[in-house]
Structure 1
Amino acid sequence: MSTGVLTTGWEPGVPAGDTIIRRFVLAYADRIAAMAARVGGRQKWVEGARMADLGSPFGYDNAVVVTRPLSEGEWPDVVAAADAFFPPHRWWVVLSVFPTPDLRAHGLLRVGHPPLMLRPPAPTPPPLPGLDVRAVEDATTLADFQAVLVAGYGLAEVGVPAIADLALAGSLLHLRVGYVDGTPVATAGAAVRHGIVEVDWVATLPQARRRGYGTAITAAVVDVAPDLPSVLIASDDGHAIYRRLGYLDLFRTTMWEHPPS
């Protein structure tokens, strides 16, 4: 009988492609670090986590991504490192695909447990009649992307997300805007890393919802690499949309936030 110890899949040196979940974690961590580098932000590796500060007023742009399971005794050091890394006034979040202890004693607030969803490679629905989907490639399309994202997420009083930067569009992020009769109504974006399409920034203007625009704009970014699986973290509003597009529920992640002071 073999006495070898099976890998957990999270030790140093395990290939990124070991599992879909490992691909997602590393893709997300690498993506936020690359975004920080492009927009003049900062990044830091600590044992078990990667941090990126994009200097954004929108907390989800400033993140700590947990890159392996942490014991309860390791969490205080990770949170302390994040506290030292981010400015005191910064709104930032912690994303973990692994269970976490209660971090309220460390000054964090629980956001919730959004579902992680997977869509295997498969044909997407045909383009939706009446929705003109365009790539963000100039100041005009970027401004439209920003306006829809801010309105769709209710960020008008928060400020401009870091995503609203042409330095990120094209080679790093694939951003799309959907127009109806020339008016921007929906957005979505994707990054392709570690053999997956990581989908994010899906938003539809409140007055344009329940017309299929969210499904169509998500399909458009899935199609940037149609032969790869796509993975996303779903909001409550978007959960049903993604299911209709063929996404499967894997499990719920955990998200904490450090609100701005």
Structure 2
Amino acid sequence: MEPVETLLAAHRAYLLGWNVGIAGGSDLVTYRSDVRHATLNGVLRVSGRTPDNALAEARERLDGVPRIWWAGPDSDAGTADGLVALGAVPIANLPIMTMEVDRVAPVPTPVGFRIAETTDMDKFVPAYGRVSGIPAEEMATAIAREKAFAGDGTVIRLAGRFDDGPVAGTAVAWLSHGLLTLYFVGTQPEHRRRGVGAAMTVAAIDLARERGVGTVALTSSEVGKPLYGRLGFRTVGTFQLLSF
């Protein structure tokens, strides 16, 4: 299993692929997509900076867009508490989960469901955007940013469909730092409770195995955590998310 530091580095590399702003040095790493959706703008790491100093600079870099602060295991101890004392608002605690690809629990594929790599961003982005809460008025910008994505790794976008219907499930597989990290795993509301999310996750795990990658990682919501636990993922750390 890869060390947590490697998982966090891969996570930073993915989100920096969206960046059109100032990334900064290792003491304060930020990314800015200019999509008005908090997850796509934020702070990824702070080290050796006082909370008030880091917060002031982060607000300047990310002025004008919704944003979040990922306070993770590689940020200075006490970062989240220091930010809260300065007015940042806790949003959620997200478990960081990993699994070795040869330990995935088998799951049935929904009848008629097919998963394939896609390059059609005009259909793929609105599908995951609908599930992720990206506002409709921001979709054109999100599509443009996805098309221009340029991270330190390889991104593979998987779309699942029932027969020849529209996109029902999505997953972004990010190959970086010797592992595969998952993003935007989602199911359209009208297709939930049919095993789509599990099928999309397993398809990405199969992709990792085919490419000789031994570890898959993701950051889960509390809602998704039971599903990933059933598949074989285990929690190795936590992100504290804050708005500021």
The aligned residue for residue 127 of structure 2 is 148
For the residues of structure 2 that align with 1:45 and 1:78, how far apart are their CA atoms?
11
The aligned residue for residue 147 of structure 2 is 166
- Give the one of 93, 96, 99 matched to 2:71: 96
The aligned residue for residue 91 of structure 2 is 111
Residue 111 of structure 1: how far off its partner (Å): 1.1
Gap regions ≥5 residues in structure 2:
none
The aligned residue for residue 214 of structure 1 is 197
The aligned residue for residue 117 of structure 2 is 135
The aligned residue for residue 226 of structure 2 is 240
For the residues of structure 2 that align with 1:135 and 1:127, how far apart are their CA atoms?
20
Which amino acid is 2:100 matched to? P
Residue 158 of structure 1: how far off its partner (Å): 6.2
Which amino acid is 1:24 matched to? L
* Contact 2:97 2:218 (8 Å CA) reproduced: yes
Residue 95 of structure 1: how far off its partner (Å): 0.7
Mean alpha-carbon deviation: is it higher for 151-160 or for 24-33? 151-160
For the residues of structure 1 that align with 2:154 and 2:21, how far apart are their CA atoms?
17
2:24 paired with 1:49? no
The aligned residue for residue 237 of structure 2 is 251
* Contact 2:68 2:241 (8 Å CA) reproduced: yes
Gap regions ≥5 residues in structure 1:
1-16
For the residues of structure 2 that align with 1:158 and 1:233, how far apart are their CA atoms?
26
Aligned partner of residue 225 in structure 1, secondary structure: helix
The aligned residue for residue 186 of structure 1 is 169
For the residues of structure 1 that align with 2:10 and 2:125, how far apart are their CA atoms?
23
Residue 52 of structure 1: how far off its partner (Å): 1.0
Which amino acid is 1:101 matched to? D
Alpha-carbon spacing, 1:158–1:102, altered in 2? closer, same or farther (3 Å): farther
Which amino acid is 1:190 matched to? A
Matching of residues 32-47 of structure 1 within 5 Å: 32-36=15-19, 41-47=20-26
Aligned partner of residue 224 in structure 1, secondary structure: helix
TM-score between the two structures when normalised by the length of structure 2: 0.83
Provide, for residues 96-137 of structure 1, a one-character-per-residue CA deviation record: whole Å limited to 9, x for no partner.
223521423434221111111111121654771421112121
2:196 paired with 1:205? no
For the residues of structure 2 that align with 1:167 and 1:145, how far apart are their CA atoms?
14
Root-mean-square deviation (Å): 2.6
2:7 paired with 1:27? no
TM-score between the two structures when normalised by the length of structure 1: 0.78
Q: Which has the higher helix share?
A: 2
Alpha-carbon spacing, 1:55–1:205, altered in 2? closer, same or farther (3 Å): same
2:38 paired with 1:62? no
Residue 153 of structure 1: how far off its partner (Å): 2.4
Say how many residue pairs are matched. 230
For the residues of structure 2 that align with 1:84 and 1:196, how far apart are their CA atoms?
33
Which amino acid is 1:233 matched to? T
Q: Percent identity?
A: 21
Provide, for residues 38-79 of structure 1, a one-character-per-residue CA deviation record: whole Å limited to 9, x for no partner.
xxx1232245331111111111111211165x6xx7222211
Alpha-carbon spacing, 1:56–1:163, altered in 2? closer, same or farther (3 Å): same
